[in-house]
Amino acid sequence: MNNRGQQFELLALAYLEQQGLRLIEQNYLCKMGEIDLIMQHDKHLVFIEVKYRASNAYGGAAAAVTPAKQKKLTRTAKWYLQQHKLNNVACRFDVVAIEGHEPYQYQWLRNAIN
């Protein structure tokens, strides 16, 4: 993890905590891939991908979560659930897209991945 990526994950974490989410795990890493943040939101376990782009010239931060990245996140989340024996837990995949320069623009996309 590079320092810049970690900086934006921490910003996203603070933003989501202000929205009422509670951190479960940060930078979950396994043989399937990595999940930036795993948080609890009401009754949902939320797998969160954080993306930053200085500009939206090429579609912005949210567009950086490609179908291939979505597939990898889904496989990693399934592995996490299996390893933690969480069979009947309500889950969702969110994206926090951060753009621009300070003050940053945040876009929280709930259920961004099916």
pLDDT tens for each residue of 32-46: 999 999 999 999 999
Q: Which burial class, exposed, middle or buried, applies to 88 when counting CB atoms under 10 A from its CB (0-12, 13-18, 19+)?
A: exposed
| Percentage above 70 pLDDT, the chain | 98
| Structure confidence by residue, pLDDT tens digits, 81-95 | 999 999 899 999 999
pTM for the model stands at 0.93
Is domain 3-113 in CATH 3.40.50.300, yes or no?
no
Write the CB contacts of 103 (distance below 8 Å, at least 6 apart in sequence). none
